[in-house]
Amino acid sequence: MYKKELGIIGTGKIGSALLRRLISTNTIDRSKIIIFDIDEDKRNKLSEEYKVEIALNNKELVRSSQYVLIAIIPQVIDSVLKEIGSHITNEQVLISIAAGVSFKHINNFINPDVGLIRIMTNTPALIGAAATAIAHNEYIKDFQIEYVKRLFSAVGMVVDLEERHLDAVTGLSGSGPAYIFIIIEALADGGVKMGLPRSIALKLAAQTLLGSAKLLLETDIHPAALKDMVATPGGTTITAIHELESAKLRATLIRAVEAATLKSKSLNSAKNNHNSGDF
């Protein structure tokens, strides 16, 4: 019997955002959470703010937790897995948000029959508006995947996919906020060029993207049909669309998703092929 439901290793942007949302939405009682971060100041600040327990180290956190979330960057995950690997049992669930770190690679460090879940989320988790994809191995039970979905629903939308799709999710929604911020900035620059104050142009551009996304999600109308609702014959919008098509905006965004996906796959492959040492 574990004294905590959830242990969080790493309290960076995503780890701390999840912690805040889990508590603020009453998804899980704070008394059932334990955290650890190598940064003492960071973990102490979060513990004081949200009244959650701090583990002495990663090993203690694992021994205390039914579900163990590794919320750290891929570059340091091997050192953490080496530290905790022998302490994870098949009664627990190990959850990783490290991009490009496959089940195959994680299994170099832990017992092969441990239930594993990989998460690909994005930075809008900071405000509870994330797009999150979840993949799991064959040792995860239905109630366990539902529990993890409930946790990540606290930071936004959740979809369930096979692991082979996570690189594409990385290329689309994982990296996607950066593409959108460039688009917002460019739209605002256009407004400024045509005489709008910078602050107003940014607000209008950002709200336009937010409203458009909500309209699509809430109506489930195909984006092409929504575009046609705006583009009246011989009007300003169809004239602007012609410029976008001439500049190959659509093709450029497709290539951006493709490039990021292929990069994720190459990083994944490099890590899988790396000799990580004996279990």
Local mean pLDDT, 10-residue blocks, the chain (279 residues)? 94 92 95 95 93 95 97 92 94 93 93 95 95 97 96 96 96 96 98 98 98 97 97 97 97 97 84 47
Determine phi and psi for 91, rounding to 5 degrees. -90, -10
SS3 278: coil
d(CA 97, CA 77) in angstroms, rounded, equals 10
DSSP, res 67: E
Joined together, the tokens standing for residue 230 give 């705006």
> For residue 115, how many C-alpha atoms fall within 13 Å in the half-sphere facing its CB?
16
pTM here is 0.89
Task: Look at residue 272 in the predicted model and tell me its pLDDT.
Answer: 65
- The CB-based long-range contact list for 247-252 (8 Å cut-off, 24+ gap) reads none
Task: Look at residue 154 in the predicted model and tell me its pLDDT.
Answer: 95
Q: Report the candidate in 121, 180, 176 with the shortest Cα–Cα distance to residue 153.
A: 121
Distance of CA 152 to the CA centre of its chain: 9
Topology of domain 4-169, per CATH? Rossmann fold (3.40.50)
DSSP, res 248: T
Domain(s) labelled CATH 1.10.3730.10 in the chain stretch across 175-247
Topology of domain 175-247, per CATH? ProC C-terminal domain-like fold (1.10.3730)
Burial of 117 (0-12, 13-18, 19+ CB in 10 A): buried
d(CA 149, CA 133) in angstroms, rounded, equals 9
Task: Look at residue 274 in the predicted model and tell me its pLDDT.
Answer: 56
Distance of CA 156 to the CA centre of its chain: 10
Task: Look at residue 277 in the predicted model and tell me its pLDDT.
Answer: 35
Bridge partners of 115, per DSSP, are 93
d(CA 44, CA 175) in angstroms, rounded, equals 30
Q: Contact at 8 Å (CB) between 89 and 65?
A: no
* Cβ contacts of 80 within 8 Å, gap of 6 or more: 9, 58, 70, 72
> For residue 212, how many C-alpha atoms fall within 13 Å in the half-sphere facing its CB?
16
Continuous segment of H or E residues that includes residue 267: helix 249-273
d(CA 97, CA 59) in angstroms, rounded, equals 19
Burial 146-173 (b: 16+ CB within 10 A, else e): ebbeebbbbbbebeeeebeebbbbbbbb
Q: Contact at 8 Å (CB) between 80 and 56?
A: no
d(CA 271, CA 99) in angstroms, rounded, equals 11
Task: Look at residue 276 in the predicted model and tell me its pLDDT.
Answer: 40
Q: Contact at 8 Å (CB) between 7 and 34?
A: yes
